[in-house]
Structure 1
Amino acid sequence: ATTENPSFSVISPLMSRSLLLTLQPLTDDDVGLLVDRAVTDARGLNGAVTLADDARAALIRLASGDARRALTGLEAAAAVALSKGKEGAVPAATADDVAQAVDKALLRYDRQGDEHYDVISAFIKSIRGSDPDAALHYLARMIEAGEDPRFIARRLVISASEDVGLADPQALSIAVAAADAVAFIGMPEGRIPLAEATVYLATTAKSNAAYVGIDAAIADIRSGGFGRVPLHLRDAHYPGAKRLGHGRGYVYPHDGEFGILPQQYLPDELRGKRYYEPKNLGAERDISARLERIRRILDGR
């Protein structure tokens, strides 16, 4: 038995020969019954303290369905209450005692486990879905759980490139600046540039056109969809290159009126192929209109 996702720690051959049974988190009612029993049972606190309603609710909330966390928090809160209680009296553990005993929220979060990947996945998908409130929530969960802020910053840089792209070219600069700021000032102040970058990425225009384009180009390369570099684009600086026809027929774009001249750049096998298709969103709206004119000139139309 393990408290973590075995997919991250057990090798595939062993997993394929194993029966995996997943135990779901306890409900709040289940955790509440467990806490109540632990307060009164001889194997627990044996009535040494009572539990105020707000403390009980706090323990249930902080446990996040994990009985061990609830019992650990209860034991720590009881110790605080007993240290402040009067001799001969049964003290009541309060929510303040719980807060004092637990200096970090009992978040179910393991930087090597499935919750780590679940939360960062929800964080990035909230940014992609343009929900800054949800994105800040998951950012806060990672920060409070002690996640490496550099990991968060790296994911923001990736999101700026993958999900925002050229719809807002400034997004990548903001994400990189946030990463630099975190490295420079550290935590806890580093949470502020992380939050700023998170909100900016979540609320700006988005396009994955460049991301889709490079993946499509890579897919063609991997499937053998490439040819020789056209002769006029080949390197012609070394002795004998011109004799091979390298560089012959190349036209210098800056000689054109608009800095563009008709010319083939893709290999013959891919002539006319379109990898980058900008969206009509944000700054890519202007790119789309300009690219349409560029392609007409390149094609000699």
Structure 2
Amino acid sequence: MAPRNRRIGSVKNELLHKSREGALAAVQIFNNPNITFKAESYVVLMNIAWTYMLHAHYRGQGIEYRYFSMAGSRRRFDKTKHGAHKYWELERCLNEDQCPIDKNAANNLRFLIGLRHEIEHQMTSRIDDLLSARFQACCLNYNEYIKKLFGDSHGIEKHLSFSLQFSTISMDQKDMLAEHPELPANIQSYIKDFDERLTDAEFSNPQYAYRILFVPKTANSKGQADRVIEFVKSDSPLADSINKEYAVIKETERTKYLPKQIVELIKQDGYSAFKMHHHTQLWQAHDAKNSSKGYGTMVAGKYWHWYSKWLDIVRKHCAENIGLYS
């Protein structure tokens, strides 16, 4: 093997090693009952793990993942004040045209990147359980991609097992899904804004947030597998019976508005001259019914409903054109 290829392979392997260690450390810390600084540690370490994994991928593909500018025909690499190269952060890795990560897994990572920005300079509370579905999705996505890009031998599932608990999952815990007033306002606002930018399909995708319903199960006879968690197909008879016999705690639906409700709310804001045709002209100008923009959704196959995200756009438009609608 040529020296250059050996050097590329050596750096790639080192990056992969650090990536796997970062992911394992993130999960082990999150599962440690003696640690309360879970979510913050998990988000930072998984951010590093994904960054190193993508650096290893780009290294192997010959894609330059250091920042540089062109000086004529030569590259001039950006460096820190102490002379080290500046490498791409995770968000820049995801923005690369040749990034191998699909949109839904990338949505999950972009959520965690933004969450890290919100929590890195302040203490938070009770977001571990509230956001565990997104943390779980991040783990599964990571394991899927490290095996997909570098081979099954790099998977980390064999190093981890399910966590045991001293407490059961009580019905009282459902309150955390709907009411969490002690959460910092900036975190609540960030979660709401990010989710409303997604389409319904993106929001429900398990690569964005992995949600599981747990129900108690008693073995019917001796010799059956004694597993705490058992996965069943959604269209199986067992899944159908679960849906009928157990009350499922559903996540809070995003608020939806009919067009006439949007107009009424805007009028209540003091813009009495705002009419339905103004609203129609506005959404047409924004191509707002394009599902990829996440402004609303079709209900029952024929009724379009708008999300709060669109209501904010309408309010901003009216505030900027107050003379037309007051």
Q: TM-score, normalised by structure 2?
A: 0.20
Q: TM-score, normalised by structure 1?
A: 0.22
Bigger radius of gyration among the two: 1
- The structure whose residues are more often helix, as a share, is 1
